[in-house]
Amino acid sequence: MRIRVVNPNTTAAMTAAIGRAAAAVAAPGTVVEAVTPTTGPASIESHYEEALAVPGLLEQVALGERDGVDAYVVACFGDPGIDAARELATGPVIGIAEAGYHAAAMLGRRFGVVTTLARTTGRARELADRYGFGSLVTEVRACEVPVLALHDPASGARELVVEECRAVLAGGADAVVLGCAGMADFCAEVSRAVGAPVVDGVAAATVLAESLVRLGLTTGKHGEYASPPDKPVTGVLAGFALGDRAAALAGVRS
Ligand code: 5HY
């Protein structure tokens, strides 16, 4: 089984760390391909950057369809472009926020989220509502460390994340979801430090994607996530016009 883990930002070092976290939980025989798009923002901490990250994500999904990939993980906590990716993909497409929330919802009555910058907390809440977990989220807190500083020892990110997780648990949560793919390799250490379940969405999404493929399940293609209709795309995104790929996506792989 081949699982393509797409880091929608263009920081290769982060993709490598994400790939290690995914490979660490993948079953024997599962090939984890961690990929970085050729276009997009260095990190995603705003709606503008999230929008700019979507073409790169779709580029990597389209290449995955050509290469026969079985499932995809969208390794950014905003789950950017997940609906568009599902229209292109045949196999399951799992966002790390979606997976993290599903896992946490089975570990206690309520859970909280610790993310990077406060300006991203709105998106985290919005996704919880979208996925049906809004009433289970106690709070979304921010450690105020930028995504690309998470692995800079001078940022004190790990200590700050532990502190915020402790505050979330003190606020009545039974579990915590880490709100950034860049925190994936913090998870075990943070969970030990706070003595409670801490969920990393990269790992959760990887095993969920594997499970769906093992169940023989694919993205539904009869309605909303049917392949996009073919039509002209002009300007810098002209290369994203599906042209005969629309037929290929709609016809060959279904
Ligand atoms: C992420 N940004 O997981 C999000 C986290 C965030 O580049 N990878 C990013 O801050 O929303």
Q: What would the pLDDT profile of 174-206 be if each residue is shown by its tens digit?
A: 999 999 999 999 999 999 999 999 999 999 999
Supply the pLDDT for residue 249.
53
Judged against a pLDDT cut of 50, whether residue 252 lies above it is answered with: no
What residue spans of 131-200 are helical by DSSP H?
157-170, 187-194
Report the alpha-carbon distance of residue 25 to residue 21 in Å, rounded: 7
User: How many Cβ atoms sit within 10 Å of the Cβ of residue 17?
Assistant: 22
pLDDT band at 70 (very low <50, low <70, confident <90, very high): very high
Residue nearest to atom 8 of ligand 1 (CA): 76
**DSSP designation for 184:** G
Structure-token pair, residue 82: 């997940």
Judged against a pLDDT cut of 60, whether residue 13 lies above it is answered with: yes
SS3 label, residue 177: strand
Q: Which residues line ligand 1 (CB under 6 A)?
A: 9, 43-45, 76-78, 115-117, 120, 147, 180-182
Judged against a pLDDT cut of 60, whether residue 248 lies above it is answered with: no
Structure-token pair, residue 87: 């229209």
Instruction: Decide if 90 contacts 219 (C-beta within 8 A).
Output: yes
Q: For residue 243, how far is its CA from the centre of ligand 1 (angstroms)?
A: 32
pTM (two decimals): 0.95
pLDDT tens across 214-232, in order?
999 999 999 999 999 989 9
- Averaged confidence pLDDT in the chain: 95
What sign does the CA torsion over 12, 13, 17, 23 have? positive
Query: What is the distance in angstroms between the CA of the first residue and the CA of the last residue of the chain?
Result: 18
pLDDT band at 250 (very low <50, low <70, confident <90, very high): low
Instruction: Decide if 116 contacts 146 (C-beta within 8 A).
Output: yes
SS3 label, residue 243: coil
The DSSP annotation for 77-112 comes to: TT-TTHHHHHHH-SS-EEEHHHHHHHHHHTSSS-EE
Q: For residue 248, how far is its CA from the centre of ligand 1 (angstroms)?
A: 33
Report the alpha-carbon distance of residue 207 to residue 54 in Å, rounded: 23
- Percent of the chain whose predicted confidence (pLDDT) is above 70: 96
Ranges 15-24, 94-103, 119-128, 233-242: which has the least confidence:
233-242
